Amino acid sequence: MDRHVGFVHALRAAGLPVSPAEGLDAARALMVVDLAQRETLREAYAATLVKRPAHRPGFDTLFDLWFPPVITGAEGTAVAADAELPELRERLAELLMGDPADPAFREFARAMVGRFGQVRAAPGRQSWFSFPVLRALSPETLVARMLNAMLDERGGLPEKVARRHVERTVGAFTEAVAADVRRRIAEESGVEKIARSAVRPPIDRVDFLRATKDELARLRREVHPLARRLATRLSIRHRRGRRGRLDFRRTVRASLSTGGVPLTTHLRPPRPHRPELVVLCDASDSVSTFSHFTLLLTFALREQFTKVRAFAFVDTVDEITRLFAPGADVLDAIGRLTDEADIVRFGRTDYGHVFERFAERFPDAVGPRTSLLILGDARSNYQAPALGTLKRLAGQARHAYWLNPEPRAQWDTGDSLATSYGSVVPMHECRNVAQLAAFVETLA
């Protein structure tokens, strides 16, 4: 049970949403499966704890750490010790043409980590790495040899199928090497320590400011599904809102048929309020990932608002709504932003000057029906904050919000004016998709 509780805690720490009830379901599942069958145990945990396909890779990584396979090591050690590198590459090619589920596949990967994976990291200290294993065996350079062995004639659909199989098995071998490296490090340093760094958080919890190139592409693909889910929830919330005030005249008229007793009440149809939205977006390099993704979501949600106007700024401000005309490609519009918008004087963010220029150039942008949304890290390069101008803009708006992509612990460090601006406009930490989705639901 200690191992079970630690595993569930590690899943939560990695960002997987595992509730106490689901942890209890998993514990009950352990009572009806054969604990000696490792893959059965894995699937029992997955069935009770994993909600989305995107969470499965992180789950598998942590499962391999908390429930490692039994390693005999006899055969693999002999292979690694006796064979020369050309023989090992030949054996790897044979395995890559076969089934990655074959036990010999992972046994070979473990043997190769044992032979090539240990590197001196510091004087008197050694650790395990995947890179020297993959550099020594170089599985990518075996592709041509394997295709020639698998095909009588190159080209066409058969080669595409064979190449796809080889790419899949090469990826499986790379992951098998990485898994064994993690296992060995966990044995030396403790499973809790390696678990904290072994799993990337789910895509909806990846920090905007720390996302890799691949994660940025996945984040962009999250925009429209997220917008559809949020739009559905917002429309349901509107329909379930207040039903309207009593229509006294219709109620009295209907009561005449029941002797003046108002058995049926009639209500006026509700007048739904769809706010106008004005977005002030920091487009400087330090928060570009955050601002671009938030603009994508804003314009995917624009049917929820009567009007959406967007303004970008660095040290001066310009309206960019024209770039997002109906039918325009939003990604293309964001790419044109830095070239076509007048948002840079000297290239250093100056929030105070931006607020003053915004109030001067666009005096009619913010009104009593407007929700004002400011996106940025509140770092103004030690320039005057123009708090009075911001207070006037916030006073003119129906609502005003500020989304800051930095962790709250970094607010008010260096040139950050988070507390000063937050005293005028409520500031919310918004570092990932999950926090952004929660905020958008409250916005409308």
- Asked if 11 and 71 touch (Cβ cutoff 8 Å), the reply is no
Rounded to the nearest 5°, which phi and psi values hold at 181? Answer: -60, -45
Q: Is the pLDDT of residue 241 over 90?
A: no
Nearest Cα residue to 149 out of 167, 169, 164, 166: 166
Tell me how far apart the alpha carbons of residues 140 and 129 are, in angstroms, rounded to a whole number: 18
135 Cβ contact list (under 8 Å, min separation 6) = none
pLDDT in tens, 345-397: 888 899 999 999 999 999 999 998 888 999 999 999 999 999 999 999 999 99
Per-residue pLDDT reduced to its tens digit, 285-318? 888 888 888 888 777 777 677 788 999 999 999 9
Three-state DSSP class for 340?
Answer: helix
pLDDT band at 272 (very low <50, low <70, confident <90, very high): low
Hey, what amino acid is at 269?
A: P
Q: Which two tokens stand for residue 355?
A: 């607020």
Query: How many residues comprise the chain?
Result: 444
Query: Checking DSSP bridges between strand 276-282 and strand 370-375, what pairing results, if any?
Result: parallel
Identify whether the C-beta of residue 398 lies closer than 8 Å to the C-beta of residue 369.
Answer: yes
Token output for 185: 């490090």
User: What is the C-alpha separation between 125 and 43, in angstroms, rounded?
Assistant: 37
Degrees (nearest 5) of the Cα angle 375, 380, 382?
165
Q: What tokens does 217 get?
A: 């592409």
- How far is the C-alpha of 368 from the C-alpha of 193, rounded, in Å? 53
Q: What's the pLDDT tens digit per position in 205-237?
A: 888 888 877 877 777 777 777 777 666 665 555
Per residue in 74-90, pLDDT (tens digit) is 444 445 555 788 889 99
Identify the residue whose tokens are 């191992």.
Answer: 3
Q: 395 in helix, strand or coil?
A: helix
Q: Residues with Cβ < 8 Å from 70, sequence gap 6 or more?
A: none
Q: Give pLDDT, residue 77.
A: 46
Strand 317-319 versus strand 308-313 pairing type: antiparallel
The Cα–Cα gap between 287 and 410 comes to 14
Could you give the C-alpha distances from 354 to 137, 315, 349, 398, 421, in angstroms and in order?
A: 56, 6, 9, 21, 14
pLDDT > 80? residue 327: no
Whether 203 contacts 215, CB under 8 Å = yes
Query: What count of other Cβ atoms lies within 10 Å of the Cβ of residue 159?
Result: 14
Average pLDDT over residues 428-434: 89
pLDDT for residue 258? 86
